[in-house]
Amino acid sequence: MVMIPRIPLLSALFTAARRRHDNRIPLHMIDEPPHRVRLASGLFRNWRRAVGWPLLAVFFITPWLSWQGKPAVFFDLNAQQFHIGGWLLWSEDLLLLSGLLIGSAFALFFVAMYAGRLWCGFSCPQTVWTFMFIWLEEKIEGSRQMRRKLDQGKGTRQQKVRRALKFVAWGLLSLATAITIIAYFYPLAQWWSDVIQGDISSVAMFWLILISTLTFLNAGWLRESVCTHMCPYSRFQSVMFDNQTRTVRYDSARGEPRGKHNPDNTNSGGDCIDCGLCVQVCPTNIDIRDGLQIACIDCGACIDACDKVMLQTGRATGLITYQPEQQLSPLQRWRLWGYGALALSAFAVILVTTLQQPPLSASLERDRLALYQLTPDDTLINRYTLKLHNRSQDAMQLTVYDQQQILLHTTLSAGQRAAHSLDIERTTDTPSQALELRIEDQRSGYQQELPARFTNPRVRTTSLAANN
Ligand code: SF4
Ligand code: SF4
């Protein structure tokens, strides 16, 4: 028999890997996929609707809105412009976007630390679209039991037709989602005209198919797998939690030992009657009675289901609650207020910076080939390149003045960039000096000062020679 020698390094690596595997946060998926979710009505579902419907309305309606004849929100990637209402942002304003992302991150930390995964459970597109797909599924295919029968191949012919209809409904919703997303980057009027004429570009077609397919797969099939296996936010959320963070919890002291419901209430067990409803309504397919889990998105569906059961069995509600482990006065939570203050500061800086953006961006660049030029009539010229960018949504009629002398007169359409050669002339005995050019828009009366420098090394040389 051949003995395989033990390799100490490999052995140590295997042991470490096994130990790490053993220490993973457990994920207890209850149903074998597909998990057929039962919709539960109640307070938390109403809250989800109150948050989700306005967000959906904003998402679907915004591309239809216009502002002064243009789409109200439009990301023009070709022109590198972003139209948001009356604001026109340019690619060079991406710094503002970084500020916005930093502010949003702190706002998310604030909300997560105070109320757990509120974003995930109530406003994350993955959750909102998943619940819409589940709603369509339940309306078309019927109850959870009927859907599970169909999964086991026991459905009637009519139920099979209903399943096909469900796929059509999911497909239409996915298509509407894709068309809306594309409309943020391609004007809707142009989009419709292309569709009617059957002249959709291959790029638009590619994005239409890709976004529709991803929406269909994410909300129809992957569902909880996206939250538990793909979403990075669920992985680092624990660093934002402390024991005063509100999360969905099962009161095991009150609920255990669980047991079947006794209508006479004579059993001495806990309040949980092990009906399993909290599991059936869970969109991430977990049992909250197993404790706090990484897959829980704090949607509160299990609270709605359990409260109903408690009321029906004559017990007090709140066996599953949305509570922190420890209640502290908000004033004692300095880290929470720190996040809030940082988020507000970032948003304030962005707002002030955006409001102060000038409608015209202008810069002067000195001619690098010659410091100055001397004309036969003894005039000394400094040559510059003036770069202009009309950042506004209206045309500009610009005049550039050097003192009272007009150096340039030009017209820039909305968003246009231009470069002009500019000669600043002085007599040969004029010393080097700072200048202030003035740019004026004849249409709006907007004025901007532009600092420049006139350089004449000849005067300095002469004066130095005289001193010597
Ligand atoms: S819904 Fe409530 S009573 Fe029913 S199993 Fe869940 S925790 Fe127990
Ligand atoms: S355990 Fe409850 S709160 Fe958490 S995801 Fe499931 S239903 Fe939502």
Domains of the chain, start order: 43-97+106-237 (no CATH), 240-332 (no CATH), 360-467 (2.60.40.10)
Q: Which atom of ligand 2 is nearest to the CA of 301?
A: 7
Question: Using a 6 Å cutoff on CB, does residue 120 contact ligand 2?
Answer: no
Kindly identify the ligand whose nearest atom is closest to the C-alpha of 307.
1
pLDDT at 467: 44
10-residue mean pLDDT series, the chain (468 residues)? 41 43 49 76 92 92 85 82 78 79 90 86 90 92 85 81 93 95 86 82 90 94 83 77 86 87 68 91 90 86 94 91 79 84 91 84 84 84 91 89 89 89 87 90 90 81 45
Residue nearest to atom 2 of ligand 1 (CA): 306
Read off the amino acid at residue 98. S
Q: Which atom of ligand 2 is nearest to the CA of 248?
A: 3
Distances (CA, A) of 403 to 97, 202, 406, 426: 38, 55, 8, 12
pLDDT at 33: 62
How many of the other CB atoms lie within 10 Å of CB of 461? 10
Q: How far is the CA of 185 from the centre of ligand 2 (A)?
A: 36
Report the distance separating Cα 313 and Cα 268, nearest Å. 15
* Cα-Cα end-to-end distance for the chain: 103
pLDDT at 32: 60
Token representation of residue 336: 């929470």
Residue nearest to atom 8 of ligand 2 (CA): 299
Q: Which residue among 260, 306, 312 has the greatest number of ligand 1 atoms within 8 angstroms of its CB, and so is best to mutate?
A: 306
Q: Are 105 and 369 in contact (CB under 8 A)?
A: no
Kindly identify the ligand whose nearest atom is closest to the C-alpha of 303.
2
pLDDT at 153: 78
pLDDT at 191: 81
pLDDT tens, residue by residue, 390-438: 888 789 999 999 888 899 999 998 888 899 998 888 888 888 888 889 9
Question: Using a 6 Å cutoff on CB, does residue 336 contact ligand 1?
Answer: no
pLDDT tens, residue by residue, 267-295: 567 889 999 999 999 988 889 999 888 88
Question: Using a 6 Å cutoff on CB, does residue 278 contact ligand 1?
Answer: yes
Kindly report the CA angle at 358 between 356 and 363, in degrees rounded to 5? 130
Read off the amino acid at residue 342. L
Question: Using a 6 Å cutoff on CB, does residue 272 contact ligand 1?
Answer: yes
Token representation of residue 309: 């059961």
Question: Using a 6 Å cutoff on CB, does residue 273 contact ligand 1?
Answer: yes
Q: How far is the CA of 32 from the centre of ligand 1 (A)?
A: 20
Question: Using a 6 Å cutoff on CB, does residue 290 contact ligand 1?
Answer: no
Distances (CA, A) of 332 to 337, 341, 418: 9, 15, 56
pLDDT at 343: 92
